[in-house]
Amino acid sequence: MIPRSIQDALQKIVGPQHLLTQKEDMLTYSYDAAVLDPVMPAAAVIPENTTQLGEIIALCHENHIPITVRGSGTNLSGGTIPRTSGIVVLTGRMNRIIEINEADMYAVVEPGVVTATLAAEVEKLGLFYPPDPGSMAVSTIGGNVAENAGGLRGLKYGVTKDYVMGLQFFDCQGNYIKTGSRTVKCATGYNITGLMVGSEGTLGVLDQVILKLIPAPKDRQAMVAVYDTIEQASETVAGIISARIVPATLEILDNFTIRAVEDFSKAGLPTDAAALLLIEVDGHPAVVAEEAEQVKALCLKMGARTIDRAKDDAQRDRIWAARRAALSALAQLKPTLVLEDATVPRSKIPDMVRALQDIAKKYRIDIGTFGHAGDGNLHPTILTDRRNKEEFHRVEQAIEEIFDTALAMGGTLSGEHGTGIAKAPFLEKEAGYSSILFSRQLRAALDPRNILNPGKITGV
């Protein structure tokens, strides 16, 4: 609970309609998409503009009230789960695209803009905003920046951090900070932009984001390769990379996932295949043609049973619909779905795939594996029922082993879902205690009252 006087002050800032305190509403802001226990905040506020946002933060600072900012709550690591003594700041009304600059190829947006909305707007102008997280139909740019979201195109086009040119945000006291610029190059001051991306709301509250845009590729070619063993498929991934070809997308689906997708969507996938690779090359038409040939030859050389090219947009759409259906199809099998994103150097994909199969067997659990094989970011997806405590315990053990395996291969706990609450206890394994201490000191200096999304990343 927060005192009445503070509720009144918040209400004065945003208006009575945009302050929520009833228990029912609090329940709806107690969770995100991560499989974690819900925590109800004391209040939720929906500011409409920069002024209101700044006033809210100053008020919370003065009164030591924790702040958790929430976009669409699609987070997969618990980054938007609040504190009981804290408030949730919703960005839903701060959803304006302020500028799309065609001449200088950048966009300035508010944090509540939905990723897919921005992507569609820039596409109309022949421009391209590549980061495409799976949740882009609902996820917000603010959330993408805070989590350093990835997507299917990471391999060639990078992730959110590669597109953030500058930011304007509030520090914990409500001071307005500007970092980065609208220019391609910018060498002034600290690279605070880089620090803020992926900081999960622990260092400041975003108000505006300047995003880099690039020209849309002129041509693209999607392909599907079918394999009889998953080793051949994962060796192909490593082979394509070492042949110095960089597809826009290089995705893998294992047999478990193929069967789930086929049951769900009747897309005509070969259910006897051990693995599928879905590949897309893009760019200048001549390059696309040449790379498509090279990829085809490589796949066949590595033992692909067949490789088919999409002949038109409709076929291409069908290929990607199958990939997009993967999570949906798996989600229908059991009540609880734990989507992991431990990531390894891409040459280690064959080893990781093998390790995941062993882990599934060892802990007697169902793991469907699909994901961004081309950038080393697999999504082992564990299907379980959280109400079955015994099984869920095995799931937790399996997750820990997946983490250890990825780290042993020189990988990371999370390619794109963030640390949040879910991975905070494991971070020391990856980075070592001194790195956690450094992060905590940084945080303590910038937010001495620990009001900015406490508990995330550094565990405090």
Partner 1 sequence: MAGMKELATLVKELEEQLVTCIRCGMCQSVCPLFEQTRKEADVARGKLALLTGLMDNIFTDPDGVNERLNRCLLCGSCAANCPSGVNVVEIFIKARAILAEYKGLSPAKKLIFRQLLANPGRFDAMVEWAGRFQGLFTKSSADAQGTSCARLISPLLANRHFMPLSTTPFHKTLPEKGFTSTGSGLRAAFFTGCLIDKIFPNVAKASLKVLAHHKVGVIIPPGQGCCGIPALASGDRDSFTHLVDHNLALFEKHDFDVLVTACATCTSTIKKLWPTVYKNPSDNIQQKLTALAEKTMDINQFLVDRVGIDPLKNLSDPAGPDAGTDIVTYHDPCHLKKSLGVADQPRQVISAAGCQLKEMAGSDKCCGMGGSFNIYHYDLSSTIGTIKRENIEKTGCTTVSTGCPACMMQISDMLGKAGSSITVRHPMEIYASRLKKNTP
If binding is defined by CB under 8 A, does position 392 make contact with partner 1?
Answer: no
CB of 124 to partner 1, least distance (A): 13
The kind and range of the H/E element at 51 are: helix 50-62
If binding is defined by CB under 8 A, does position 11 make contact with partner 1?
Answer: no
The kind and range of the H/E element at 260 are: helix 255-265
Cβ atoms of 407 and 355 closer than 8 Å: no
Cβ atoms of 176 and 208 closer than 8 Å: no
If binding is defined by CB under 8 A, does position 72 make contact with partner 1?
Answer: yes
If binding is defined by CB under 8 A, does position 336 make contact with partner 1?
Answer: yes
For residue 307, report the phi and psi dihedrals to the nearest 5 degrees: -140, 125
Cβ atoms of 354 and 411 closer than 8 Å: no
If binding is defined by CB under 8 A, does position 79 make contact with partner 1?
Answer: no
If binding is defined by CB under 8 A, does position 453 make contact with partner 1?
Answer: no
Other beta carbons within 10 Å of 232 = 20
If binding is defined by CB under 8 A, does position 123 make contact with partner 1?
Answer: no
Q: Which of 49, 242, 332, 435 binds partner 1 (CB under 8 A)?
A: 332
**What is the number of H-type helices and E-type strands within the chain?**
15, 18
If binding is defined by CB under 8 A, does position 331 make contact with partner 1?
Answer: yes
Contacts of 5 (CB under 8 A, 6+ apart): none
Of 64, 23, 59, the closest CA to residue 44 belongs to 23
If binding is defined by CB under 8 A, does position 385 make contact with partner 1?
Answer: yes
If binding is defined by CB under 8 A, does position 68 make contact with partner 1?
Answer: no
SS3 label, residue 289: helix
The kind and range of the H/E element at 359 are: helix 349-362
Residue 132-171 contact track with partner 1, rule CB under 8 A, x = bound: ---x-xx---------------------------------
CB of 35 to partner 1, least distance (A): 8
If binding is defined by CB under 8 A, does position 114 make contact with partner 1?
Answer: yes
What is the pairing mode between strands 43-45 and 214-215? unpaired
Residues 39-58 interacting with partner 1 (rule: CB under 8 A):
46
Q: With CB under 8 A as the rule, give the number of residues binding partner 1.
A: 35
Instruction: Report the length, in residues, of the chain.
Output: 460
If binding is defined by CB under 8 A, does position 113 make contact with partner 1?
Answer: no
If binding is defined by CB under 8 A, does position 28 make contact with partner 1?
Answer: yes
If binding is defined by CB under 8 A, does position 272 make contact with partner 1?
Answer: no
Contact positions vs partner 1 (CB under 8 A): 20, 22-25, 27-33, 38, 46, 72-74, 90, 92-93, 95, 114, 116, 135, 137-138, 327-328, 331-332, 335-337, 385, 387
